[in-house]
Every structure is written in structure tokens, then in C-alpha cells.
A and B are shown apart, each in its own frame.
Chain A
Amino acid sequence: MKALGDLVHWLTDPANWQGSHGIPVRVFEHIELSAISVILALLIAMPIALYLGHTGRAGFIAINVANVGRALPSLALLAFGLVIAISLGLGLGFWPTVFALVPLAIPPILTNAYVAVREVDRDIVEAARGMGLSEGQILRSIEVPLGLPLMLGGIRTAAVNVVATATLGALVAGGALGRFIVDGLALQEYDQLMAGALLVALLAVATEVSFAALERATVPAGMRAIR
């Protein structure tokens, strides 16, 4: 119980809420790092997934990418990220972590977006084609809106994984909330350790909950009745 008391004391100490090592700065760094990584992953994965989904090509690869992704341990990705960042001369901290987080985020985004487009009723797509919509229009105004909830499901998985794994960035001298955990471990300051852990856990759960709400909100009006 003493640990809990120390934790509350640490969290309510004004000194921990100020300056460049304070909680608000670390939370911001964590969100910034996660957001940039997810956006980079989206920029890479979405065009590929939409193209493959629309044309129906390479389904086997698009689906199995997710299984391969699961086998890549986050700490191993960080190790590879570090090797790449150092050999590109990008230094420690931010970039090695981004290089670890982007490959972590790509598989769920890619697979879900591919499946989302494929699962759109082919009759609807045929009808649209019959009405003279171009392939681009079919993708934009039929496949993407109808598949959006499923696509967001993949982005949610990716985002939660990224927020969780961004913690490890502190191992390669990065900032973000992992700093509290890694420093707390190294210095055996359990109040700092637990506070960092609690904040990361809350951020991960908050990410999950917000994306779940977003998913529900994006189900097209016409699809809600039949769900």
C-alpha cells in the first residue's frame, strides 16, 4: 500500500508537472511520436491496400502481412530501428523509435483496409460501374465510405500498439512517457516508475476508446439499420 501512497504523492507533486521533463511535456511527446508514426504508416499502407483491394490482386500477401507483423517483437523492431537510424546518421531518440513504430503499424492498417474494400458487396460495385462511375469514383464514393469502419478498426489496432510501444523509445534515449518508466527502473524510484506506467496505460486505453467511438460514428447512415 505504501507504493500506492508514493504514487499519489508523486503524481500530485507540482514539481513533476513543470518544465521540459514534466508530465505535460512527456504526454505531448508521446502523442506526437505516436501520431507521426501512425501517419507515416497510413501514407505507406493505405495506397497499397486500396489499390490491391480495388483490383483484388495479391490478396494472399495483403492478408498474411498481418501475421508476419505479429511475429515481429517490438523490442526487435526497436533494435532494427536503431541500426537503421544510426547508419543514416539520424542519431538517437526520436527517429530510431519512429523506424520501429512504422513497421509495427503497417500490417494491421494494410490488412484491414484491404479486407474492408474486398468485403464491399460486389453487386453494389457492379451497379456503380453500370451507372457509369469511374474506377476512381467507385473507390472514393463507394468502397472507402462503406469500408471505413473496418479500416478504422485496423488503424485502432495500429494506434494502440504504437502508443504502447512508443514507451520503449526511452531505451534509445528518447523522451515520451517511457522516460519515467526507464528512469524509474534504473534509479529504483518506484513512484516515478508506477506513475509513468499508469499514464501510459491510461493513454493506451484512451486511444482504444476514442477509436472505438470513431468507428461507430463512421458507419454510413444507410448501413446502421441493418447492423
Chain B
Amino acid sequence: MTPGEPLIRWDWLLSHAGEIGQRVGEHLELTLIAVAVGFLIAFLLSLAALRVPRLYGPISWTTGILYTIPSLALFALLIPYTGLSLLTAEIGLVSYTLLILIRNIVAGVRGVPAEVREAARGMGYTDRQILWRVELPLALAVIFAGIRIATITTIGLVTVTALIGQGGMGYFILLGIQLFFSTALIVGALGSVILAVLADGSLVLVQRALTPWTHTP
């Protein structure tokens, strides 16, 4: 952006390869913790909503509000209490996965055809067995679609956590903005997009391995 400066300085890329690798690791770690913790919470809330349908309204309303609050604002509201920490970043990141995950888990289970459920009941399955052996396996494809969206969204949001001292690839974007240095900008922005694409691709492969019946070989 400074005149005469190339858009990408390859020598900078090479000399910072180690740091880039380290930030990629950080980015993936922040994402993995958020999606894993988010899934655990979403799963428990979904089970509650499936058992007591009256709860689904309030749960989806609350997570909807959380999802609407801008990420930077949510981090900012937490800072006086949890500081510029990993915890602050993860509370925000986890909050954003909940709506997507709960929607898909509940929709997936509710989408199981009634006659399948009836057949299982007729074969003597208990409610618990129906949930774990019939409904959840059949809902896996829809649940996985939710996990994919949550993961992609989280990878994008992780860049924002650079503002509170975390951030993975977001660190390079901030560095680029502060120094007017396009190489760092592009490394951070493109790096984050590439991570999202790769993560999505890997999740598709995992999903295929887990649900062999959804596709013909």
C-alpha cells in the first residue's frame, strides 16, 4: 500500500513461516474448543427441548439474541469481568455456535419420520433407545450440517478475537491494518478463508464416514 511496495512480499512470508504456522495452530485450537464446548451445551439443551417442547421457544429465543449481538460487542461486554483472556474469547465463540447447533439437532430429530419411530416402539424399544439408536443416527446428516456451519462461522469469528489479544490469523490482519502492510493483511484474510474451506472439506469426509447410508458408493 506504500508506493513501490508489492502486494505480497514473499521474503516476509518465508521469514515468518514459523510464526504463521504457530498462528494457524492457535486459530484451530480456538475453533476446536468453541465448537466442542458449544456442541456439548447445544446437545444438552436440545435434549431438554425435545423432551419438554415448551422449552424450545425460550431456548431458541435466548440463543437467537446471543447470535444477534455483534461479536466485538459481546467480547467488549465481557472484558471488565473476564479480561483480555482466552475465556472471554471462548464465551463469545461458544455463544455463537449455540443457535445454529440447537436448530439443527432439534430439526434433525424432529424430522425423523413418525412411522420409523412407531416401528421402533413396536419392536419394544424404550424412549431412550429410540433416541440413541434411531432418532440421533438418522438425524446425523442434519446435525452435521449444523456442525459445518458452526465451524465455518467460528473460524471467521476467531479473527475478531485478535482484538482481545487472541486471534490466530486475525493477528496478521490487525498487524496489516496497523502497519499498512498488505502482505500481513492477505496472509491473515486468505489464511482464515483457506482454513474454513479445509475444515469444511474435512467435516464432509467425516460425515460420509459416519453416515454411509446417505450416499451410494
B partners with A: yes
Chain A positions near chain B (C-beta within 8 angstroms):
3, 70-80, 82-83, 86-87, 160, 163-165, 167-168, 171-172, 178, 181-182, 184-185, 190, 193-194, 196-198, 200-201, 204-205, 208
Can you name 22 A-B residue pairings with CB atoms under 8 Å? A3-B80, A70-B152, A70-B153, A72-B156, A76-B156, A76-B189, A76-B193, A78-B177, A79-B173, A79-B185, A82-B185, A83-B182, A165-B70, A167-B72, A171-B163, A184-B76, A194-B80, A197-B77, A198-B77, A200-B72, A204-B69, A204-B70
A75 proximity list for chain B (CB < 8 A): 156, 159-160, 162, 170, 173-174, 188-189, 192
Size of the chain B interface, CB-CB below 8 angstroms: 44
**Which secondary structure dominates chain A's binding surface?**
helix
Asked if B50 lies at the interface with its beta carbon under 8 angstroms from chain A, I say no
A3, closest chain B residue (CB): B80
**Bound Cα distance from A37 to B149, whole angstroms:** 25
**Contact residues of B between 173 and 217, Cβ < 8 Å to A:** 173-174, 176-177, 180, 182, 185-186, 188-190, 192-193, 196-197, 200
B103–chain A nearest beta-carbon distance, Å: 14
Distance in angstroms between the alpha carbons of A196 and B152 in the assembled complex: 27
Q: Is B104 an interface residue (CB 8 A)?
A: no
Nearest chain B residue, comparing its CB with the CB of A199: B73
Known contacts A193-B79, A201-B77; is A164 also within 8 Å of B70 by CB? yes
B132 to chain A, nearest CB (A): 31
Nearest residue, chain A, Cβ from B70 = A164
Most buried by B among A76, A82, A171, A182: A76
B76 touches A71 (CB 8 A): no
Cα distance A200–B76 in the bound complex, in angstroms: 11
Which residues of B lie under 8 Å from residue A198 when comparing CB positions? 73, 77
B residues contacting A by CB (< 8 A) are 1, 7, 65, 68-74, 76-77, 79-81, 149, 152-153, 155-160, 162-164, 170, 173-174, 176-177, 180, 182, 185-186, 188-190, 192-193, 196-197, 200
CA distance A74 to B194 in the complex (A): 14
A215 to B196: give the CA distance in the assembly, Å.
Answer: 32
Residues of A near B1 (CB, < 8 A) are: 83, 86-87
Distance in Å: Cβ of B157 to nearest Cβ of chain A: 7
Q: Which of B7, B76, B188, B196 contacts A193 (CB 8 A)?
A: B76
Indicate if the CB atoms of A197 and B192 lie closer than 8 Å: no
Contacts of A181 in B (CB 8 A): 72-73, 76
CA distance A163 to B70 in the complex (A): 8
Contact between A190 and B193, CB atoms less than 8 A apart: no
| CB–CB A76/B159 < 8 A | yes
